[in-house]
Amino acid sequence: MLTFISPIPIGGPNVKCSKNSNPLRILSAHDFPDFLPKQIDKIKDLYARKMASRIERIPVNFSKGCVMSSCVKPKEQKEANPVVLLHGFDSTCLEWRYTLPLLEEAGLETWAVDVLGWGFSDLGRLPSCDVASKRDHLYQLWSTYIKRPMVLVGPSLGSAVAIDFSVHYPEAVDRLVLIDASVYAEGTGNLAKLPKALAYAAVYLLKSIPLRLYAASLFFNGLPLSTCIDWTNIGRLHCLLPWWEDATVNFMISGGYNVIDQIKYVKHKTLIIWGEDDQIIDYKLGVRLYCELQNATLRQIPKCGHIPHVQNPDVVSRLIVEFVQSDRSERPKPDSVSTISVPVITSTCTSRHVAHPICGNRTS
């Protein structure tokens, strides 16, 4: 099913807590774990500060050794399968600062996990950060701490992480949520062939504030400059850890993610969420992904860019909750309104026996 979701104003700093939520208080430097860069105290975003105070490191033993791995653990364990939030390329669990609290308020057991090589894990004894190592690390974290099939949520390159993981370890996954998925790139391409000196130069540029500011302007539409600067500082906070450059170069020269040939093997029920105004990845690739997956639903959010869970957390959280609860006995009747109380329009591409103009698949 391909549907369109009416827009809700940009969430960001203006996202609202429910009346049952604890009000956000101003956190001091003493409230943050000591392994975070000290620049965390300069972040103004209260939701980022609150989530940063919840980040902890847990030991994960995998093929490359033991890594104290950063994550945000759920406040309580539920009977239903947990939601596990990944992040995009060269990012951290702080991507979920607005959406994770909303998922928790909806009653979902929610983890936010840093992918090996990014985030705030302790990589002092640098392990390999290639795709196989990232996959093994996530599996060992899951098998040690989570131990139940999970709703695995991957935004941007995190969608490639999720697809790769679900194909190799289908028993660990209940269903998938892919957000503005970056799954059709052929790895890191020519960057994998760079001499190490040039690779480090490229990574140094990747950390630079001007480049990150420019990226933020592409990710988000109409963002005030002060917010753009603060979000840029949040997005590059992990780059200040001493091993970040080595880990990023390691991933770059390893070849990165190429999951194009794995998509057809995904068996899990999948929700695809796409920002209509994504300036990074063409929406046609979202439709292609929808056509190539065996059991997928595509929901589009108008007036939203590449990172909907930051820009429109209310919509994203409600879509995830609706998707997670869709098979439960208490789900609404077929003719009732969905948990998102906004108009939903079915695209003509899902009409019976009509071939989709992009991928040619027929729907019924």
Positions marked active-site: 156, 278, 306
The tokens for 92 are 């951290």
Q: What share of the chain is helix, strand, coil (3-state, %, to 5)?
A: 40, 15, 45
Helix axes 131-141, 157-168, angle to 10 degrees: 70
Round to the nearest angstrom and report the end-to-end CA distance of the chain: 10
**Cβ contact 296:271 at 8 Å:** yes
**Cβ contact 133:64 at 8 Å:** yes
3-state secondary structure 235-251: HCHHHHCCCHHHHHHHH
Nearest to 188 by CA among 253, 135, 248, 127: 253
User: Regarding beta strands 65-72 and 56-62, do their DSSP bridges make them parallel or antiparallel, or are they unpaired?
Assistant: antiparallel
Tokens 């799954």: give the residue. Answer: 183
Helix axes 196-207, 244-254, angle to 10 degrees: 120
As a whole number of angstroms, the distance between CA 287 and CA 284 comes to: 5
As a whole number of angstroms, the distance between CA 230 and CA 216 comes to: 10
As a whole number of angstroms, the distance between CA 50 and CA 45 comes to: 9
In sequence order, the 6+-apart residues with CB closer than 8 A to the CB of 287 are 2, 298, 349, 356, 358, 359
As a whole number of angstroms, the distance between CA 315 and CA 282 comes to: 20
Question: What are the residues facing 271 on neighbouring strands?
Answer: 177, 297
